[in-house]
Structure 1
Amino acid sequence: MFTSRKPSRLVPSTVLAALGLAVLTACGNAGGTGAAGRTEVVAAFYPMAWLAERVGGDDVAVSTLTKPGAEPHDLELTPKQIGALGKADLALYVKGLQPAVDDAVAKHAKGKGLDAASTVKTLPAPGEDEHAHEDEHGHGGEAEHGHDHGDIDPHLWLDPSRMATVATALGDKLAATDADHADGYKTRAATLVKELNGLDQEFKTGLASCKQKTIVTAHAAFGYLADRYGLKQISIAGVDPTSEPSPKRLAELTGEVRASGATTVFTESLVSRKVADTLAREAGVRTAVLDPVEGVKEGSKADYPSVMRGNLQTLKPALECS
């Protein structure tokens, strides 16, 4: 008796190869690693992204939540960005700078976040009562408008020595996250620490002999720089650069600038300079741009060290350094 059989279907070798590649790729991505098996790092804004790229090297894929050239303080996250935080192997941020990022990390990236502020000695936030905007009804203040940046000054990256400390902590965190490449992370972190300590020494030398010690800044971003190099900061706005002084506070600032002997009011590239220009005009001093290194514009060849060195060259004549 003849029994019919359905013809067998041979799977082409190209299909088998593709299936095998897919399996290997899936294995390579196990544990949340990104493209080509790289560790996925989400950085909150530019200075943290720069650190991650330098310490991570080719072993990481870095994405940044804050767009190039955008002011980072009051960043609002999209659902896609929140999802990326949840999927990432590591989130690198500065707690107190971007409340939306702090909240998203706490809810969606528990155990995978590295708060740079937790690795260094921090400074208290300046008294926001001095910097709060007051309208004709007496209302204002950063906290009232939903921009509470916490009790510490988050601008730690303006001190290269503290950035070196964060680099070491990041190297250790990446090594623990991706043990297969631990030696590379720690080696690159050590190299970066030497570079940042060298930058710190440039500032120490350049600002060692200055007639003036007061820097008048657009917002309170330079507290760590002032703390490290023996300077005093007078800021127009508080931690949030979008806050504006009341007319009364502006008059007080004018008197403080005149009494300090400061020669310059420093403006910024990412925020309006209108108030700073008014203060300089009222106090009879000049203006110059001092960059808080919160972001670089897309396509720019500048990076953290070059912007910081530019700041040093701006500070030296303004402070009458020999």
Structure 2
Amino acid sequence: MNVRRLIPAAALAGAVALGATALTACSGATAAGGDTDGKIAVTASFYPLQFLAERIGKDNVAVTTLTKPGVEPHDLEITPKQTGRLGESDVILYLKTLQPAVDKAVAQSGVKNVVDAGTLTKLEAHAASGHDDHDHAAEGEGGEHDHDHGAGEDPHVWLDPTKYAEIAKGVGAALEKADPEHAADYEKNTAALVTELGSLDTEFKDGLKTTASRTFITTHAAFGYLAERYGLDQEGISGIDPESEPSPARMKDLQGVAAKDKVTTVFFETLAGDKTAKALAKDTGLRTDVLDPLEGITDKSQGADYFEVMRSNLKNLQKALGAK
């Protein structure tokens, strides 16, 4: 059912303007606009949306992701070739402002079925610190990599299984609209996925109900939704940009947080490395561990898909927080 579309001259010109030296980051077995064997051509901007498309679409869709495994989504650049192929998609799934290069390419694509995941659930603002009396100077550090969805909104909504389920419902509806012939399949698959996400939510609620501490420290302040859902306090070392350097004042502040709130662990993510986490852990006598924001799956991930990595996150949180 893939329909080829002519790319407007303005779109091609805009694609060239993105620069021929941009990073090529197209993965997936089938490129949008390529040989899809009659399947719906879906382009997802990064892994969490790719996962939804694959689980809901199954055999009726050919899914391409713009962010290949191992690439930090916030740093993604897009080639003119990718921009051109994007215009041949039947459905585009993205999260506006998370990846500026994607926003530009989507605007130029001319595709009718475009879904901004941020419109499918309520986005919220989350501070890097879960404690009002702590120094928030580190919030917003990171400059050009700041990726708030708008008005300070946190884009990492997929880390809350309940909100992720709301996005799943919207993705299912978009596939039904683009391919009404298989609407019953999409509806059935969406319902099954939403049920599975509900079970994951229950696992987190039960697993984190009773703990010795409610505070966790992480290099990437991506877990605001998760913390809010399960009554935890997130303390981000460097705010929303995992690569930014924390201020000396913030590091000192976190040492106090660790002592006061019985923190045992400093978390880091696989895509950003553990340099900052190790530095803080060394100064405070804490251990380090992985808390994965699930922006991509690689061979270093603690699981092969969303559910496996989320359950690894739960296990690591339970260990760090002293779950009983």
State TM-score, norm by structure 1.
0.83
Gaps of at least 5 residues in structure 1 are: 1-27, 134-140
CA 109–260 in structure 1, closer or farther in 2 if over 3 Å, else same: farther
- How many pairs does the alignment contain? 287
CA 121–148 in structure 1, closer or farther in 2 if over 3 Å, else same: closer
1:66 paired to 2:67 = yes
- Tell whether the 8 Å contact from 1:74 to 1:147 is kept in structure 2 after alignment: no
Map residues 14-163 of structure 1 onto 2, 5 A cutoff. 29-30=2-3, 35-109=36-110, 111-126=112-127, 130-131=137-138, 141-143=141-143, 145=144, 147-150=146-149, 151-163=152-164
Shift of 1:161: 1.1
- Residue in 2 aligned with 1:168? 169
Shift of 1:201: 0.7
Structure 2 residue identity aligned to 1:65: L
- Bigger radius of gyration, 1 or 2? 1
Map residues 188-267 of structure 1 onto 2, 5 A cutoff. 188-267=189-268
Structure 2: how far apart are the matches of 1:99 and 1:256?
Answer: 34
Match of 2:312 among 294, 310, 313: 310
Map residues 259-298 of structure 1 onto 2, 5 A cutoff. 259-297=260-298
Q: Deviations over 1:64-83 (max 9, x none)?
A: 11111222112111112212
Shift of 1:224: 0.9
CA 146–230 in structure 1, closer or farther in 2 if over 3 Å, else same: closer
SS of residue matched to 2:244: coil
- Tell whether the 8 Å contact from 2:145 to 2:241 is kept in structure 1 after alignment: no
- Tell whether the 8 Å contact from 2:147 to 2:155 is kept in structure 1 after alignment: no
SS of residue matched to 1:114: strand
CA 147–49 in structure 1, closer or farther in 2 if over 3 Å, else same: same
Structure 1 residue identity aligned to 2:159: L
Which shifted more, 243-252 or 39-48?
243-252
> For the aligned residues, what is the CA RMSD?
2.2
Shift of 1:198: 0.7
Structure 1: how far apart are the matches of 2:3 and 2:271?
Answer: 40
Structure 2 residue identity aligned to 1:149: D
- Tell whether the 8 Å contact from 2:43 to 2:64 is kept in structure 1 after alignment: yes
Q: Deviations over 1:194-213 (max 9, x none)?
A: 11111111111111111210
- Residue in 2 aligned with 1:24? none
Gaps of at least 5 residues in structure 2 are: 6-32, 130-135
Indicate the percent of aligned positions where both proteins have the same amino acid: 47
Structure 1: how far apart are the matches of 2:254 and 2:319?
Answer: 22
- Residue in 1 aligned with 2:132? none
Q: Deviations over 1:4-38 (max 9, x none)?
A: xxxxxxxxxxxxxxxxxxxxxxxx54466761111
SS of residue matched to 1:237: coil
Shift of 1:91: 1.2
- Tell whether the 8 Å contact from 2:146 to 2:240 is kept in structure 1 after alignment: no
Which shifted more, 213-222 or 76-85?
76-85
- Tell whether the 8 Å contact from 1:132 to 1:246 is kept in structure 2 after alignment: no
